[in-house]
Chain A
């Protein structure tokens, strides 16, 4: 056993079997970012549900519950992330789904990140992040949660 043979490991897509809701709350009409993220998550193996533009936090929570998603991603470019995120998290709790992790992406100023995390957001992704890093971070957080639940 002195030599170990390097076998190529073809790893399974990191998000295989995960169901993820990509949602656009609020009034901004730009969903290129949300669509790009949705496709990247799909390519990582996830089953992605996209809500389309301008959805209320209550609507988003309803879809998250009915679809029993493993995570909700909120894409927000309007600047009103504080209100929208707080409302979405409250709506999820209202509908018995406070255990669904929420990710936020978009134009989020550095100084607001801590505030969003304090509201209960699992991770915040800013527009300058690489797509691969975002996907990897989502996969990592979901794996952590799974491990916690099984522990």
Chain B
């Protein structure tokens, strides 16, 4: 992979294929891969928020803005996989059409596959491929439902939560939850009359939640018109400044997320593979069976797509 480090020209075909290999890799492939040496690390910006909040449009505007200082920006957008057919429609990139002709941008759509946390199988492995190809930044769009706000936290350096006017009720419901995880709160569709009120409510709630700690910034934007993206960009810079000073905890957070992802997937598969009769056992017996199977799986080959 070293030859691919900061290549003069980006080999998009090779990168595209490397991403597929990372996405399809089985457990054994991941565990037997040679350890990565210390090298270029792309900054990761996570974008979460409910469906319809304008995440894709915001990401397009943000990427365009950040290209003024980054030489290569990746966008990874996750859409849900149907649990029934395992198929999916990956439609986020339609809102990023304007970026496709820019050779500095690489957009990749992912299906969540087996992941139930709003992210995708093998996501840590997929993201690190962009490190190998010299990207400065990765903007990650989650599915936007369920637990993605929490799961993405450990995988990114900065997390943005995007809300819209009319989200007043959402804020009420989320007080104890995701309002504790994001670094920056974005109120999109600032042209709508309710936007100011949502911003104020959000600030009030965040001040309560923060206690004695710093209150995270709330930025009002209009993604479709590119309005106030500069302020959001500045907030991201300020937030990443803090992280840059602590590379060790960043490295540890990523390692933790990586091992978690591998185990969730393996565990789900192990339980899925149990014969029906296994469920006649008592709970402690069943627990022991799963543990034994997990150990066996660690030495066997992983399946590519399950």
Docked-complex contact A66 and B107, CB < 8 angstroms: yes
Interface size on B, residues (CB 8 A): 30
Docked-complex contact A49 and B86, CB < 8 angstroms: no
Docked-complex contact B100 and A62, CB < 8 angstroms: yes
Q: A16-B305, A97-B13 are in contact. Are A45 and B93 (CB under 8 A)?
A: no
Per-residue 0/1 for B82-126: is the Cβ within 8 Å of any A Cβ (1 yes, 0 no)?
100111111101100100110000111101000000000000000
Docked-complex contact A52 and B97, CB < 8 angstroms: yes
Task: Give 14 pairs: A residue, B residue, CB < 8 Å, sorted on A.
Answer: A15-B87, A41-B87, A42-B89, A43-B85, A45-B87, A46-B87, A47-B111, A48-B87, A48-B90, A50-B94, A52-B97, A65-B12, A68-B17, A96-B11
B51 contacts the other chain (Cβ, under 8 Å)? Answer: no
Docked-complex contact A63 and B17, CB < 8 angstroms: no
Interface size class of A (residues with CB under 8 A): 20 to 34
A29 contacts the other chain (Cβ, under 8 Å)? Answer: no
B16 contacts the other chain (Cβ, under 8 Å)? Answer: yes
Closest 8 CB pairs of A and B: A68-B16, A42-B87, A17-B305, A96-B13, A47-B111, A68-B20, A49-B90, A45-B87
Report the Cα distance A15→B88, complex, angstroms. 11
**Which chain A residues border B87 with CB–CB below 8 Å?**
13, 15-16, 41-48
A122 contacts the other chain (Cβ, under 8 Å)? Answer: no
A107 contacts the other chain (Cβ, under 8 Å)? Answer: no
Report the Cα distance A17→B13, complex, angstroms. 19
- Min CB distance A145 to B, Å, is 15
Residue in contact with B85 in the complex, picked from A38, A44, A63, A65, CB distance below 8 Å: A44
A39 contacts the other chain (Cβ, under 8 Å)? Answer: yes
Docked-complex contact B13 and A59, CB < 8 angstroms: no
**Which chain B residues border A45 with CB–CB below 8 Å?**
85-87
Residues of A within 8 A of B (CB): 13, 15-17, 19, 38-39, 41-52, 59, 62-63, 65-68, 95-97
- Min CB distance B106 to A, Å, is 6
Determine the residue in chain B with the shortest Cβ distance to A62.
B100
B232 contacts the other chain (Cβ, under 8 Å)? Answer: no
Interface class of chain B by DSSP: mixed
B184 contacts the other chain (Cβ, under 8 Å)? Answer: no
Docked-complex contact B12 and A66, CB < 8 angstroms: yes
**Which chain B residues border A46 with CB–CB below 8 Å?**
87
Number of A-B residue pairs having CB atoms within 8 Å of each other in the complex: 80
- Min CB distance B113 to A, Å, is 9
B155 contacts the other chain (Cβ, under 8 Å)? Answer: no
B19 contacts the other chain (Cβ, under 8 Å)? Answer: yes
Report the Cα distance A17→B24, complex, angstroms. 9
Determine the residue in chain A with the shortest Cβ distance to B18.
A68
Per-residue 0/1 for B123-164: is the Cβ within 8 Å of any A Cβ (1 yes, 0 no)?
000000000000000000000000000000000000000000
Docked-complex contact B16 and A67, CB < 8 angstroms: yes
**Which chain B residues border A50 with CB–CB below 8 Å?**
89-91, 94
Determine the residue in chain B with the shortest Cβ distance to A70.
B20
- Min CB distance A98 to B, Å, is 10
- Min CB distance A40 to B, Å, is 10
Residue in contact with B93 in the complex, picked from A16, A41, A47, A49, CB distance below 8 Å: A49
- Min CB distance A45 to B, Å, is 5
Given A43-B87, A66-B12, 16 more A-B residue pairs with CB atoms under 8 Å apart are: A13-B87, A17-B305, A42-B82, A42-B89, A43-B85, A44-B85, A47-B88, A47-B109, A48-B90, A50-B89, A52-B97, A59-B100, A59-B101, A65-B16, A95-B13, A97-B13
Residue in contact with A47 in the complex, picked from B16, B17, B90, CB distance below 8 Å: B90
Report the Cα distance A60→B94, complex, angstroms. 12
Determine the residue in chain B with the shortest Cβ distance to A58.
B101
Determine the residue in chain A with the shortest Cβ distance to B81.
A47
Docked-complex contact B85 and A13, CB < 8 angstroms: yes
Of listed B11, B17, B19, B87, residue having the most chain A CB within 10 A? B87
Docked-complex contact B88 and A42, CB < 8 angstroms: yes
**Which chain B residues border A67 with CB–CB below 8 Å?**
16, 90, 108-109
Report the Cα distance A66→B96, complex, angstroms. 14
Docked-complex contact B85 and A49, CB < 8 angstroms: no
Q: A47-B111, A68-B16, A68-B19 are in contact. Are A42 and B85 (CB under 8 A)?
A: yes
